[in-house]
């Protein structure tokens, strides 16, 4: 009860259900985002590998991944549409005043969604109807369109963190909007690339984790080896880059959002030689309990010197900064994200060193157990990243320009709780259906592979294909373009 009181201090009653609904739908939607952004690239890498080497296994994997990509996209449209409506329904104060400034990001994302739907349809159609080279070339824009969708939503979010591109009139309303500056804010570059590489890392580990589980269960044929190696290699290569980008964006927050940085690192008073707390809980009087205290490390990480001055939460009035509870939430999320990233980096180094040294996959079951867990862990890291971004910005919905309490809807809290309950029921059904479809596809694929009869471990599995013009065998003359 004490925590709830702190979170709701001096805010309208409808703020908690509005925040809860937005947090739930965003946390649910973001589970799908890594596959939406990065699976097209992973699929096309496998597709290109299959074409270049005439590898039927690679083409089979790419074709199956493209089917998963289509199902994921359909579910993502549903959850993304709900989020779009929530911006207007739950936060009309923000959209009414600032929509003309940063709304272009949502427009870009909508166009990207439309283009991606068309391209996915063409790509799926092309497996049986298009010549191999034409089919592959038509799929190449897919990763770019996926990145365009990320561009739109990250432009909007980075603007909320560092709003630019407008002036305020005497009534406090934005005028003289400069779209270019509103899109390319100081936080856009660091936030965008950090997000994109997080999607590559997460999707790579998620896809590879499926085949790592199969490997642990004794399915050690070429199908599982190739299905594991290509996405895991992509994720492993991106992991150290992502680690450096994460360090860079934290330093950008230190310079451009010092109070948010103070909340992430639970720094109470402005000073040099600030200690670093690994976890730990901040109390309203500024004391920290629990966690591991490392002297001077926070100043060193922020400015590479122990005498770097780090701004504290008390540098601004209490109503202009996160509460102690909010700061603790952001701090726990940030430390969890960094901790998971560090473990993934060690896993990538294990894989990379052994590959460069002996040119083979690790054979230790512990490696494959870790690889199977890496997908879930990386999704958790993405969730923690968004918690850090959104909770650390409190009480601002538009940093230093509009508070959450000013933006929230006037709808009664009871109605919002009912709406929230309905959304939860719908999402349980949607994600349950998504899982059921994936499991049915997996079962069908296994049956198709089994129809070919027993095969040696190294033999390539053959797909069950009812047509003779399969990828990319002989086609009838009428089906050629």
Condensed to tens digits (0 to 9), the pLDDT of residues 91-109 reads: 888 888 888 888 787 888 8
- Rounded Cα distance, 481 and 376, in Å: 43
Number of domains in the chain: 1
Say if residue 380's pLDDT is above 90: yes
Distance of CA 208 to the CA centre of its chain: 17
pTM of the model: 0.86
- Per the structure block, which two tokens stand in for 80? 């993304």
The confidence band for 7, taking pLDDT boundaries of 50, 70 and 90, is very low
**438 lies in some domain:** yes
* Within a domain: 331: no
Spatial separation of the C-alpha atoms in residues 281 and 295, rounded to whole Å: 17
Handedness of CA 244, 282, 329, 96 (dihedral sign): negative
CA-CA-CA-CA torsion sign (75, 79, 82, 88): negative
Please give the full DSSP string across 361-425, using - where no structure is assigned: ----HHHHHHHHHHHHHHHHHHHHHHHHHHHHTTTEEETTTEEHHHHS--S-HHHHHHHHHHHHH
At residue 379, does pLDDT exceed 90? Answer: yes
472 within a domain of the structure (yes/no): yes
Q: Can you tell me the distance from the alpha carbon of 305 to that of 142, in angstroms, rounded to the nearest whole number?
A: 44
| CB contact set of 159 (below 8 Å; sequence gap of 6+) | 101, 102, 105, 165, 182, 183, 185, 188
Residues 334-339, mean pLDDT to the nearest whole number: 93
Instruction: Return the residue matching tokens 């990243």.
Output: 385
Checking if the pLDDT of 465 tops 60, the result is no
Are 373 and 304 in contact, with CB atoms under 8 Å apart?
A: no
> Could you tell me if residue 471 is inside a domain?
yes
Q: What is the DSSP string of 253-279?
A: HHHH-HHHHHHHTT--S-BSSPPEEES
Tell me if 434 is assigned to some domain: yes
Task: Give residue 469's domain range.
Answer: 32-185+417-481
pLDDT top residue among 50 and 477 = 50
What average pLDDT does the segment 357-362 reach?
A: 78
Question: By mean pLDDT, which of 62-71, 246-255, 392-401, 449-458 is the weakest?
Answer: 449-458
In a domain, 446, yes or no: yes
The alpha carbon dihedral of 480, 140, 228, 73 has a sign of negative
The phi and psi torsions of 452 (rounded to 5 degrees) equal -75, -5
Q: Is 291 contained in some domain?
A: no
Mean pLDDT value of segment 357-364: 78
**What pLDDT score does 453 carry?**
41
Q: With respect to residue 466, please indicate whether it lies within any of the assigned structural domains.
A: yes
pLDDT for residue 54: 86
Which has the minimum average pLDDT: 2-16, 188-202, 270-284?
Answer: 2-16
Q: What percent of the chain has pLDDT over 70?
A: 91
């Amino acid at each position: 009860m004490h925590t709830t009181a702190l979170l709701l201090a001096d805010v309208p009653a409808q703020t908690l259900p509005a925040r809860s609904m937005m947090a739930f739908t965003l946390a649910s939607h973001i589970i799908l985002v890594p596959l939406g952004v990065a699976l097209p690239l992973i699929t096309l890498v496998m597709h290109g590998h299959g074409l270049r080497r005439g590898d039927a296994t690679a083409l089979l994997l790419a074709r199956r991944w493209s089917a998963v990509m289509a199902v994921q996209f359909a579910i993502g449209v549903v959850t993304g549409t709900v989020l779009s409506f929530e911006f207007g329904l739950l936060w009309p104060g923000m959209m009414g005043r600032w929509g003309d400034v940063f709304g272009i990001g949502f427009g870009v994302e909508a166009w990207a969604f439309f283009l991606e739907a068309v391209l996915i349809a063409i790509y799926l159609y092309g497996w049986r109807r298009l010549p191999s080279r034409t089919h592959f070339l038509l799929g190449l824009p897919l990763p770019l369109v996926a990145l365009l969708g990320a561009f739109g939503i990250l432009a909007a979010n980075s603007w909320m963190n560092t709003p630019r591109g407008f002036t305020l009139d005497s009534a406090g309303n934005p005028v003289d909007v400069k779209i270019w500056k509103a899109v390319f804010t100081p936080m856009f570059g660091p936030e965008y690339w950090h997000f994109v590489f997080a999607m590559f890392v997460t999707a790579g580990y998620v896809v590879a984790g499926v085949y790592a589980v199969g490997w642990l269960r004794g399915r050690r044929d070429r199908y599982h080896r190739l299905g594991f190696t290509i996405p895991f290699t992509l994720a492993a290569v991106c992991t150290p880059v992502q680690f450096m980008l994460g360090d860079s964006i934290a330093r950008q927050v230190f310079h451009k959002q010092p109070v948010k940085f103070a909340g992430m690192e639970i720094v109470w008073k402005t000073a040099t030689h600030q200690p670093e707390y690994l976890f730990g809980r901040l109390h309203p009087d500024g004391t920290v309990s629990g966690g591991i205290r490392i002297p001077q490390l926070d100043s060193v990480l922020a400015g590479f010197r122990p005498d770097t001055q780090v701004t504290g939460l008390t540098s601004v009035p209490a109503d202009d900064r996160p509460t102690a509870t909010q700061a603790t939430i952001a701090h726990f999320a940030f430390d969890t994200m960094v901790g998971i990233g560090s473990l993934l980096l060690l896993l990538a180094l294990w894989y990379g060193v052994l590959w460069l040294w002996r040119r083979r996959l690790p054979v230790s079951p512990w490696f494959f157990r870790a690889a199977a867990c890496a997908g879930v862990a990386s999704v958790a890291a993405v969730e923690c990243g968004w918690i850090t971004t959104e909770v650390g910005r409190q009480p601002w919905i538009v940093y230093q320009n509009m508070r959450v309490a000013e933006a929230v809807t006037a709808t009664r809290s009871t109605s919002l709780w009912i709406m929230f309950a309905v959304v939860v029921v719908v999402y349980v059904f949607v994600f349950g259906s998504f899982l059921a479809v994936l499991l049915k596809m997996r079962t069908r694929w296994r049956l198709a592979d089994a129809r070919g009869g027993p095969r040696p471990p190294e033999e390539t599995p053959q797909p069950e294909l009812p047509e003779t013009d399969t990828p990319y065998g002989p086609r009838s003359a009428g089906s050629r373009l």
